[in-house]
Amino acid sequence: MIDGCGRIIDHLRLSLTDRCNLACRYCAPEHGALPRDRLDAQLAYAIVHWLATRHGVRHVRLTGGEPLLHPHLIPLVERLSRLGDLHELTLTTNGQSLTQRAAALRAAGLDRVNVSLDTLDPQRFAQVTRGGNVQRTLAGIEAALAAGLTPVRINVVAQRGLNDHELADIAAWGLARGCTVRFLEVMPIGPLAHVMEQHLVGAAEILARLSARFQLRPISASTGQPAVDYAATGDDLRGVVGIIAPTTRPFCAQCRRLRVTARGQLVSCLHDDRRYDLTRWWDGRTLDSTGADTTLRTAVADKPAAGVAAQPACMRSLGG
């Protein structure tokens, strides 16, 4: 697939559910209706099969919400991993129930996991996630490493006043275990956009804080990767850290992504609130691929050159 700006689209973020067992303060509003959308596993498989075999999608990341909450996750991963067309099948999780699932996910054919971890401090973790248990996520990361879901990537959203002083410590924790540690600027999207703007820690500051502890040498980025990665050495540690800077250094020109929400709707850009419904082509058993192609063509043609519009939906309903 090539969009109207000449970008190759071959990455898919597939949201399996918009439910989550955490409610991170930059992602979910404190009050309001609880989400409850869940993508039917048959439809999820049909969408990936259609996009991989007819449209060249090669990288699939299962996300949410919290994808580990999907009741048919393991059989779905098993089926998806047998699709010969995919180069990579990964999953993003908060890690709260990863200890129990890591070995089964690996056995089912998942390639690796990204685990979100914004702080190592139990109280701050509970505060930012509104009730999460950091020990469970740390144990989940160890379980993913033991199961071979590697390289495990740790995603850290840098937040002023929460973890800005702790970034190098989190990097050290991850590097000591052979994880890649990626630091993300917080994105002002969803109903909390105005609040999150105040917590932004920009890429330059993240880099400065990491450089105070590690020597960093830039590594050339691979295609489709918004992160700028660095070989890090210091404190008797070596490994890879990265910075993803959607706010201060947007990477729209290199964006190769489509998203599908837990309602079965295509989203062509994180900052665009248009949705393109795929469920109208689903009869409960098969996806009408010719019909779905027409919806896809519109979504891809509409993909904005750059994400500028405000996004009213929060990340967990978009498939972060």
Site string for ligand SAM, 37-76 (x = CB under 6 A): --------------------------xx-x----------
Query: What is the rounded distance in angstroms from the CA atom of residue 199 to the CA atom of residue 161?
Result: 7
Based on CB atoms, which residue is closest to ligand SAM, 20 or 255?
A: 20
Based on CB atoms, which residue is closest to ligand SAM, 116 or 268?
A: 116
Q: Does 140 contact ligand SAM by CB under 6 A?
A: no
Q: Give me 300's structure tokens.
A: 């891809």
Structure-token match 């590697």, residue found? 150
Measured CA distances, 227 to 56, 150, 151, 219, 250 (Å):
23, 18, 15, 10, 11
Alpha-carbon dihedral 267, 7, 152, 240, rounded to 10 degrees:
-140
Q: Which residue of 16, 80, 92, 259 would you call a contact of ligand SAM, by CB under 6 A?
A: 92
Chain residue at closest Cβ approach to ligand SAM: 320
Based on CB atoms, which residue is closest to ligand SAM, 94 or 268?
A: 94
Q: Does 93 contact ligand SAM by CB under 6 A?
A: yes
Based on CB atoms, which residue is closest to ligand SAM, 86 or 187?
A: 187
Please, what is the minimum distance in Å from the beta carbon of residue 235 to ligand SAM?
A: 25
Site string for ligand SAM, 288-317 (x = CB under 6 A): ---------------------------xx-
Q: What residues are paired with 11 via a beta bridge?
A: 59, 257
Based on CB atoms, which residue is closest to ligand SAM, 1 or 226?
A: 226
Q: Which residue of 157, 162, 201, 241 would you call a contact of ligand SAM, by CB under 6 A?
A: 157
Q: Which residue of 47, 186, 203, 206 would you call a contact of ligand SAM, by CB under 6 A?
A: 186
Q: Cis (ω within 30 of 0) for the bond into 226?
A: no
Q: Does 26 contact ligand SAM by CB under 6 A?
A: yes
Task: Strand 228-234: give its sheet, edge to edge.
Answer: 215-219, 228-234, 237-244, 180-185, 153-158, 112-116, 88-93, 59-64, 11-17, 257-260, 265-267, 276-277
CB atoms within 10 A of CB 229: 20
Q: Does 243 contact ligand SAM by CB under 6 A?
A: no
Q: Give me 25's structure tokens.
A: 């303060």
Q: What residues are paired with 155 via a beta bridge?
A: 116, 182
**Interacting residue ranges for ligand SAM, rule: CB under 6 A:** 20, 26-27, 63-64, 66, 92-94, 116, 155, 157, 184, 186-187, 189, 196, 315-316, 320
